[in-house]
Amino acid sequence: MRRSLSAIRQAAWALHYQSKAPLGYRKHMADDVVKDHQYWTSAPYFIVDDVVSSANYYRDKLGFHYERFWNDPPSFCMVKRNGVVIMLAQLETTGAMRPNHVVDPEGGAWDTYIWIDDADALNAEFKARGVKIARDICDQPYGCRDFDIEDCNGYRLCFGQDLEG
């Protein structure tokens, strides 16, 4: 039996919120084995057709910054905002981008989910900057208030605020 994306999301969030631990640290079986509780983070890796224009979009529209481009001509950049890093990579061949929502039969899959402190303020900021809002802000059954944007390459980023924390 095929489960819908929304059912899968709700199940994932139920597992994610199974403990009362602070956001970013949830108790898992592996925590009983690893006692040092190292800090981990993740950075999505988006393939783009034009790394310079993509990095500038993230800077000008989404409020990220970057320090440099790698290679000549430029083919890689890391954009950053409030501790979040997104890697942008340009391949020699164009057209290799594949946002998740393109292959999702329901069309709602994200490419990344970013936890934030104030979803309403960020949503208003993005609207004022002319960012494409793919799904407007709302409270979700998994305990977050979130919204989706679509970047200049079609990638979907969901920004969500933990309502239960």
Task: Specify if 18 maps to a domain.
Answer: no
| Token pair 């990344």: residue | 112
Q: Is residue 33 part of a domain?
A: no
- 70-123 pLDDT, tens digit per residue, is 999 999 999 999 999 999 999 999 999 999 999 999 989 999 999 999 999 999
Look at residue 35 and tell me if it is in a domain: no
Percent of the chain at pLDDT exceeding 90:
73
> Considering the domain boundaries, does residue 16 fall inside one?
no
DSSP, collapsed to helix, strand or coil, labels residue 104 as coil
Residue 2 lies in a domain: no
Q: Are the C-beta atoms of residues 157 and 111 closer than 8 Å to each other?
A: yes
Please state the domain count of the chain.
Answer: 1
pLDDT at 165: 72
Q: Which two tokens stand for residue 42?
A: 């993740």
Examine residue 126 and state whether it is found in any structural domain, yes or no: yes
Residue-number span of the structural domain to which 87 is assigned: 41-162
Q: What is the pTM of this model?
A: 0.80
Question: What is the SS3 assignment for 3-63?
Answer: CCHHHHHHHHHHHHCCCCCCCCCCCCHHHHHCCCCCCCCCCCEEEECCHHHHHHHHHHCCC
Domain contains 104: yes
**Residue 156 belongs to domain with CATH number:** 3.10.180.10
